[in-house]
Amino acid sequence: MNTELFGIIATFLLTLVIAIPLGKYLAKVFAGEKVWTDFLKPIESGIYKLSGINPKEEMNWKQHLKAMLTINLVWLVYGFFVLIFQDKLPMNPDGNPGMTADLSFNTVISFVANCDLQHYSGESGVTYLTQHVVMMFLMFTSCATGMASAVVFFKAFRDKTSARLGNFWEFFVKSITRLLLPLSFLIAMILAFNGSPTSYEAKDQFISLQGDTVNVSRGPAAGMIAIKHLGTNGGGWFGANSAHPLENPNYITNTVELVAQMIIPIAMVIAFGIFIRRRKLGWIIFGVMTIGMFLLLIPTISSELGGNPALSKMGISQATGAMEGKEVRFGPAISAYWSTVTTIISTGSVNNMHDSSMPLTGVWQLLGMMVNSFYGGCGVGVLNYFIYLIIAVFISGLMVGRTPEFLGHKVEAREVKIAALITLLSPFLILAGTALASFIFTSHGDAAWAVQPKNWLNNPGFHGFSEMLYEVTSSNANNGSGFEGLGDNNILWNVLTGFVILVGRFLPIIGPVAIAGLLGAKKFIPESAGTLKPDTLTFGLMTFAVIVVLNALSYFPALALGPLAEYFTMLK
C-alpha cells in the first residue's frame, strides 16, 4: 500500500528533476543561444536545404499561422488516402483491411491534431506501414507543431515591440532534431529492453500450457510508444493502449511513460519564463498549474483507493483499491495518478480503462480535459493558459478601472474578443456535441449504421451519458482517451468527433498566436505604479479563480447529469 504511494511521489519528483533543466535548455535552443546539441546543426542545415527553406527568413504572426496551417493540410490530405488504401500497400503481414472513408477522416484528423482518439483497434485496424508513415510520423510532427506555435507566442513577448517573430520552419525542425527524436530513441531503448517488441514479424501462434491455441499480435511498437508519450499524443500501438503488457511491460516502463508525457508541457512553461526574461512569471504559471493538478489528483487517488462501493457490499476484499480495468503490475494508486496526468495534459494514453473508473474519478478526468491547461499538451498547454490569462487581465482591469495591459502592451477590444470567443468555443463544442449524440441515441436509435445508435452505449443510465460526454470532451481537448465502451466506429461519431477535434485544435492555436502577435506589435508602455503585474501571487490566484469560475459555469450541469448523478445513486 505505502509502496504504491511512494511510487507516485517518486514519479512526480523524477518528472520535475528532468523537466526543469529541460525548460532551461529549450529556452536556449529556441533563442538560438549556444547549447551542447549544436553539433546537430549540419543535419538541420541539410533538412532546410532539401526542403528549400531559409531559416533566417523572419515571419510575422500571420505568416507563421499560414505556414503552420499549410503543412497540416498537406498531412491531412496525404494521411486520409494512405489509410483508405492501406490494404493495397506493402508491410501488412496480418492482412488488415483498408479504412472506410469516415473512419479515415476521423483517424487522420485525430493524429494530425495531436489528439489520437482511436476508433479502430491497433491490432486489426492498421498496418505496420500506416503505423509508421501515418501514426508515428504525425506523432512527431503534431507535437512539433504545438511547440513551434508556442515559440511564436514566446517570441512576441521577448522584445519590447516586435512584429518579426522568427521562422516557423526553424522552430518546427528544431523541436524534432533537438528534442523529440533523440529523447524518443532513448525511451524506445528502455522500452525495448524491458520487453516491448521492435521487430517486424507478423502475428505469432503458440499452444498454451493448458493446450489452447493462442494468436499474438506484435510489431515494431517500441519506437511509436516512445513518441506517443513524449509528444503527449497517446495513440496506442495495441488496442488496450498502455494497459497492454507489450506496450507497458512493467513498473519501470510505466514510470518512464508517465515521466515522458509530462516533461515537455512542464518544460515549456519554464522555458516561457526564461525566454521572455521574466522567470518569475514562468514559476507563477507553473505554480497555478501544479496546484490545479493536485486538486484533481488527490480526490482521484482517494476515490480509486476506496474501491467500488458496490463490490464492497458483496463482501470481497478491495485492500488495494478498485481493480476493474486495471493491471496488477501497476496497482490502483499509480493508475489513478496516470488517469489524472493523461487528462490534464492532452496525452490520452491509458494504463487503466477510464470507463471502469469510479464515478467521482470520472468527474476529475473530465474536468482535467475541460480546463486543458494544467500543464496541457505539448506547446498548446501554455497557449490555452494564455487565454485564461488574458481574460484574467481583462477582468482585473475592469475591477481597478484601468485599460488592461499585459507585459507592457495594452489589451484592447480586439484581443479580448478573440480570447472570449476561444473561451466560449470549448463549452459550445462539448455541450452541443453531447446534446446531438444524446438526441440521436434517444430519437434515432434504429439508424442503419455500423453501430446502431441504440446499441452504442456499453453501460445503462447515467454512466451511459458519461460515455458520450467523455467522448466529445476528449475530442475537444485533443486528448484522445475515451470511455472505450462506447461503440464509436460509425458515421456519426467519426464525423462529429473529427469535426470537434479539428476546430478544437486549430482555433485555440490561432487565437492565442493572433493575440500575442497583435500585442507584440503594439507600442511598449514602461511599467508604472498602476501597472498590473502578472508575475505576482495575487494575479496567479486571480487567473486560477477565472479558470475555476469559467469551467464550473460551463460544465457543472453536464457533469451533474453524468458522473455526479451516478455517484449519488451509488451512495444509497
Per CB under 8 A, contacts with other proteins among 231-250 are 238-240, 243-246, 249-250
Among 29, 113, 192, 285, contact with other proteins (rule: CB under 8 A): 192
Among 314, 413, 448, 529, contact with other proteins (rule: CB under 8 A): 314
What binding mask, one character per residue, do residues 157-176 give for other proteins by CB under 8 A, x or -?
------------x---x--x
CA gap 416, 515 in Å, rounded: 8
Contacts of 520 (CB under 8 A, 6+ apart): 61, 155, 156, 157, 159, 161, 162, 163, 165, 409
Nearer to other proteins, 80 or 238 (CB): 238
The piece of 19-27, 111-119, 198-206, 371-379 that touches other proteins (CB under 8 A) is 198-206
Among 252, 424, 545, 549, contact with other proteins (rule: CB under 8 A): 252
CA gap 405, 495 in Å, rounded: 41
What distance, in Å, lies between the first and last C-alpha atoms of the chain?
28
For the bound state, the minimum distance from the C-beta of residue 387 to other proteins, rounded and expressed in Å, comes to 26
Among 18, 181, 420, 425, contact with other proteins (rule: CB under 8 A): 181
CA gap 264, 345 in Å, rounded: 10
Size of the site for other proteins (CB under 8 A): 117
Nearer to other proteins, 110 or 242 (CB): 242
200: contact with other proteins by CB under 8 A = yes
CA gap 110, 501 in Å, rounded: 7
Q: What are phi and psi of 526, to 5 degrees?
A: -65, 155
Core vs surface per residue 275-304: b (16+ CB within 10 A) or e: bbebbebbebbbebbbebbeebbebbbebb
Cα separations (Å) of 93 from 129, 182, 195, 213, 246? 10, 29, 21, 20, 19
Nearer to other proteins, 353 or 501 (CB): 353
Among 31, 302, 459, 548, contact with other proteins (rule: CB under 8 A): 459
CA gap 106, 339 in Å, rounded: 24
What's the distance, CA 76 to chain centroid? Answer: 19
Burial class (CB in 10 A: 0-12, 13-18, 19+), 215: exposed
CA proximity to 108, closest of 138, 132, 145: 138
For the bound state, the minimum distance from the C-beta of residue 378 to other proteins, rounded and expressed in Å, comes to 16
Q: H or E element: which one contains 410?
A: strand 409-410
Burial class (CB in 10 A: 0-12, 13-18, 19+), 211: exposed
502: contact with other proteins by CB under 8 A = no
For the bound state, the minimum distance from the C-beta of residue 369 to other proteins, rounded and expressed in Å, comes to 18
Among 165, 266, 267, 334, contact with other proteins (rule: CB under 8 A): 334
Contact 269, 23 (CB under 8 A): yes
For the bound state, the minimum distance from the C-beta of residue 428 to other proteins, rounded and expressed in Å, comes to 27
CA proximity to 254, closest of 315, 154, 341, 316: 341
357: contact with other proteins by CB under 8 A = yes
Which grid coordinates are listed for 279? 522567470
For the bound state, the minimum distance from the C-beta of residue 212 to other proteins, rounded and expressed in Å, comes to 6
Among 27, 143, 165, 350, contact with other proteins (rule: CB under 8 A): 350
For the bound state, the minimum distance from the C-beta of residue 225 to other proteins, rounded and expressed in Å, comes to 10
367: contact with other proteins by CB under 8 A = no
CA gap 536, 513 in Å, rounded: 24
Nearer to other proteins, 222 or 416 (CB): 222
385: contact with other proteins by CB under 8 A = no
What binding mask, one character per residue, do residues 7-36 give for other proteins by CB under 8 A, x or -?
x--x--------------------------
Among 55, 93, 299, 325, contact with other proteins (rule: CB under 8 A): 325
Please give the residues from 118 up to 157 whose contact with other proteins meets the rule CB under 8 A: 121, 123-124, 132-133, 136-137, 140-141
Characterize the bridge pairing of strands 405-406 and 409-410: antiparallel
Under DSSP, is residue 372 helix (H, G, I), strand (E, B) or coil? coil
For the bound state, the minimum distance from the C-beta of residue 192 to other proteins, rounded and expressed in Å, comes to 4
Nearer to other proteins, 229 or 409 (CB): 229
